[in-house]
Each structure stands twice: as C-alpha cells, then as structure tokens.
Amino acid sequence: MRRLRNAKIVATLGPASCHEDVIKTLFEKGADVFRLNFSHGTHEDHQKNFETLRRLEQHFNRPITILMDLQGPKLRVGTFAEGKVVLKPNQVFTFDLNAEPGTQDRVCLPHTEIFKAIEAGTDLLLDDGKLRLKVIRYSHDSIETIVTTGGELSNRKGVNVPAVLLPLSALTDKDRHDLDFGLALGVDWVALSFVQKPADILEAQNLIQGRAKVIAKLEKPMAIQYLDEIVRLSDAVMVARGDLGVEMLPEEVPSIQKRIIHSCRQAGKPVVVATQMLDSMVHTPSPTRAEASDVATAIYDGVDAVMLSAETASGAYPVEAVAMMDRIIIQTERDPVYRQMVDHSRPQPQPTVADSITASARQIAHIISVPVIVTFSDTGSTTLRAARERPESPILALTPNLQTARFLGLVWGVHAVLVPPINSFAEMVENACHLAFKENFAKKGEQILITAGVPFGKAGGTNILRIAKID
C-alpha cells in the first residue's frame, strides 16, 4: 500500500461512504486519513465507521489514521413564526433573548456571549455571509441593527461575528460529550473547530491528556492574530477555508492560507488545507480546472494534506473524488517546478542536534541519491523533523508504538510501519535494511539512510545518522 506521492489525502465519511466496501475502495484509491465529522451523524454511525476502519487496518496490515472533527460553538438565530422572513436594505432589525418565534422586525439570538462582545458598528453576518447587518445600538438583552445586505432569512441560520473575540470556549457541552466518546473509541487526531486563541488549544489538550493529537482548525480571523502561538501549541493546523471565507473578504483568503502554511512549515507542524477543494465533484464525475489548480497550489506550497468534505461524505462520486485528488497530487509532485518551490520554501534548521542530523540526512540523500530515509522513533518526533525538511527521498518511519504509526499517516512523505521495540544499534540497522526492501523502497545493493535517537524511546533525542547498504 505504498503511495507514490508525499502529500496525504483526508476523506470525510458520511452517507455516501458509510459502507465497508466503499471505505475499502477509498483507502485503496488513496485516502490516507478518514475524517469522522461530528457535526453530522450519530455516535452509532461514527462507531460503525470506526470499527470498519480498524477491520480494514487488520486486513491490509497498514496503520489507518482516524480523525474526529468536533462541531464547535455554532451560533444560530432562533425560529420564525412563518419559517422565514425577507430582510430589505436599510431596514431596522432587532436580535433579542426572547424565545418567542421571530417576526419581520425581530428574532431570538440565544447567545448571550454575542451581547457581551459587540459594540456599535459591529457587523453581523447571517446564513454563511449572505446577509450583512450593522449594529447601531445594543443593551444586555437587545441588539438593534440596520440591514446593509438583505435577503431571505429562515429558521436556525448561522451567525458570524467577524473581527470580534467572543467570550466562548471552543468546546461546547456537545463537543465534550463527543470527545469522550471519540477518545474511548481510540481516534488518532481531534480537530478543534472555531479556535480563537491559544487558550482554546490548552483547554482541549487538558481534556485529551495525550490520548490523541490536536488539530487547530483556523476558521476565525481573530485566530490569525495569535497564529504562531496557536501553531506552537497545536500538533497540526487545518486551514478551514469555508468559515474563514465567510468572515473575511474572498480576496484575503489566499494570502491568509499561505501565511498559515508558512508558519506551520517553519514550526515543522503538519498543515491541512480543507473545504471545497473539488466541490463540483459532489454532483459531477470530474472537477473544474480551477479546482484542480486549487489542489495543485496547496501541493506546490508543501502542505502535508488536502481534504475532501462533502465530495466523499455526501457526494455522488466519492471514489472518483479520491482518485482524482490522488492523480492531481502525483502529477504536481512530478513537476520539476514543485521541487524548486519546496526547496525554496524550506525553513532554516534550528540550532539543535536533531535538526542538524535531519538537515544533513536530506542533503546526503540528495547527493548520493538515496532511495529512502528510514527513521526510528517511539514518539514520532524524529520523523516529524525529517518531514519538515521535505526531502526528495520518501520517509520510512519505523516505530514500536501503534498510536505513533497511526498519527503519522497525516504527515508529508511518511510511510509508517509498526515494528517490535529496538534493543541495539545493530538491530536497528538490520531492521531498517530489511523493511526498506520488504516495503519496496529500496533494492538489494542500494544504500539507505537511517536517523534515530539513542537511547531508544527518548522523545526529541535524534542524534544518529547512518548510511547502510542492503545486502
């Protein structure tokens, strides 16, 4: 099951992909990470998919990465007596805490946090930004606005408050319940929605207690003010362009995406680009040229993974979407310009033994055309530093820790294999040579490059670089 590419594919499971034969085909066609979206579906649905994936893991004898995506604090208006109203430009419209059905002039907004945070001049965006209203006056239980962009507003539509730090936890009561459930199952990654500030990451990590890795989903412009700190605290970052695009101008999203990717590349943290990448494939068997270019742009930027959402969860062509994304990535990575761009954007090694070892490994692999770099790591830290270098050679990650093998499925260029604990340097070299050959990364007579840390099992202790020949 070796992939012929470095960037990974995240596929979301849903009604279109909940059968075992479809999930199996998605994995065979190129899905590396499977996303369980807790904004939709029941716990029973997610448990069924989880169990299917773990059976497939046994069938293929390959670690399969499972990501649970928490819903986060969704802000919504209440309901209307007639089900919907039409707001006209320059109309005055009021939000309040009255639970009675709304009218043409008012509706309930059951989120006291908004009342505490807004001020005169604040914009409120409704229904994914289709409607825009400006606050003209407010109190502790009423917000009076004027409609600047009108349209139809129906029951339970979403509310966005751009450029305002809301006094909200990124974890709702539902999220905490879902998190307990997902961790009990044994998910590998937890995606935290609507992150606004570094404290949101710390709160989640305090609950998770190392049982899974944390992905910060950046979909609030306020989070960009704390970007480097959020990247530092998180295990990975997702550029969630859907909600991010609602709260900022469309022309601002591409530069923000590149800024997030750059920050993650500098820190050596995995970064995922998500939302509407092949959106037309929800309904058609092929993407637009613009969508193919969008995926390729993320690959040229050196991202770790690209994600499919509705394309595989509810679309008519889930398998075709994964196969298409696989083809786009492979074609892009074969382009000589791709290697030039990845090399140009490579971060400088930090002044540590681990970075000097991994940077040297990349250079040596290039000079003597090593077919594979083998990393030994219990925690995955050695492998993450190797991936930060974006070497020309693929990375074969050998680890005795199943949890580590699974979470590395999200990381650029990494093919993880579970191995017994290593007890000696000689055993390490022997295993590296054997598995490089067995997993079809190298042939007899070829040289491979090995990085590891001694003593074995110590996090962040990369201090060995060895060239070995496969006999």
348: in domain: no
Q: Is the pLDDT of residue 1 over 80?
A: no
pLDDT in tens, 237-267: 999 998 888 888 889 999 999 999 999 999 9
Mean pLDDT of 50-72: 97
Same domain for 174 and 228?
A: yes
CATH code of 373's domain: 3.40.1380.20
Q: Are residues 37 and 180 in the same domain?
A: yes
Q: Inter-axis angle of helices 318-334 and 20-29, to 10 degrees?
A: 10
Active site residue 76: yes
Same domain assignment for residues 212 and 328: yes
Q: Do 118 and 256 belong together in one domain?
A: no
- Which of the four pLDDT bands, split at 50, 70 and 90, describes residue 351? very high
Cis peptide before 455 (omega within 30 of 0): yes
Closest CA to 135 of 126, 148, 116, 122: 122
Cβ count near 28 (within 10 Å):
14
Number of other residues whose CB lies within 10 A of the CB of residue 290:
8
34 with 63, same domain: the answer is yes
**pLDDT mean over 217-230:** 93
Say yes or no: 33 and 91 in one domain.
Answer: no
Distance CA 211, CA 68 (A): 13
At residue 458 the predicted structure's pLDDT band, cuts being 50, 70 and 90, is: low
Domains in the chain, number: 3
Residues 393 and 297 in one domain: no
Domain boundary among 334, 369, 389: 334
In the chain, what percentage of residues exceed pLDDT 90? 90
Q: pLDDT tens-digit profile of 354-395?
A: 899 999 999 999 999 999 999 999 999 999 999 999 999 999
- Whether 112 is a known active-site residue: answer no
Last-in-domain residue among 133, 160, 187: 160
Catalytic annotation present for 35: yes
Q: Is residue 194 part of a domain?
A: yes
pLDDT tens digits, 152-198: 999 999 999 988 889 989 999 999 999 999 999 999 999 999 999 99
Would residue 340 count as lying in a domain?
no
What is the mean predicted confidence (pLDDT) over 101-111?
97
Catalytic residue among 29, 132, 213, 217: 217
Checking if the pLDDT of 122 tops 70, the result is yes
Give the 3-state secondary structure of residue 66: strand
**CATH of residue 127:** 2.40.33.10
* CATH number for 298: 3.20.20.60
68 and 192 share one domain? yes
Can you tell me whether residue 243 is helix, strand or coil? helix
Is the domain of 123 the same as that of 226? no
Quote the pLDDT of residue 249.
83
- State the pLDDT confidence band at 457, using cuts at 50, 70 and 90: low
Q: Let me know whether 378 and 415 are in one domain.
A: yes
Taking CA atoms, 410 is separated from 7, 55, 133, in Å, by 9, 20, 40
DSSP secondary structure letters along 392-411: SS-EEEEES-HHHHHHGGGS
Question: Does the pTM exceed 0.85?
Answer: yes
Choosing from 52, 65, 122, 275, the catalytic residue is 275
Report yes or no on 453 lying in a domain.
Answer: yes
pLDDT at 459 over 80: no
Question: Is residue 31's pLDDT more than 70?
Answer: yes
Q: Is residue 141 part of a domain?
A: yes
Active-site residue identified among 76, 174, 258, 346: 76
Mean pLDDT score, 407-424: 95
CB-based contacts of 288: which residues, under 8 Å, 6+ apart? 280
The residue from 122, 137, 160 where one domain ends is 160
pLDDT of res. 455: 76
Answer whether residue 21 shows pLDDT above 80. yes
Q: Are residues 313 and 186 in the same domain?
A: yes
Is the pLDDT at 40 greater than 90? The verdict is yes
Q: Which domain holds residue 130?
A: 84-160
Question: What value does the mean pLDDT take over residues 322-326?
Answer: 98
Residues 202 and 296 in one domain: yes
* C-alpha triplet 234, 239, 242: angle, nearest 5°: 135
Per-residue pLDDT for 12 more than 70? yes
Out of 35, 62, 390, 406, the active site residue is 35
| Domain contains 286 | yes
Residue 29 falls in the annotated catalytic set: no
- CA 42 from chain center: how many Å? 22
Rounded (5°) CA angle 444-447-453: 125
Phi-psi region of 410 (alpha: psi -120 to 50; beta: other; left: phi over 0): alpha
- Would you say residue 30 lies in a domain? yes
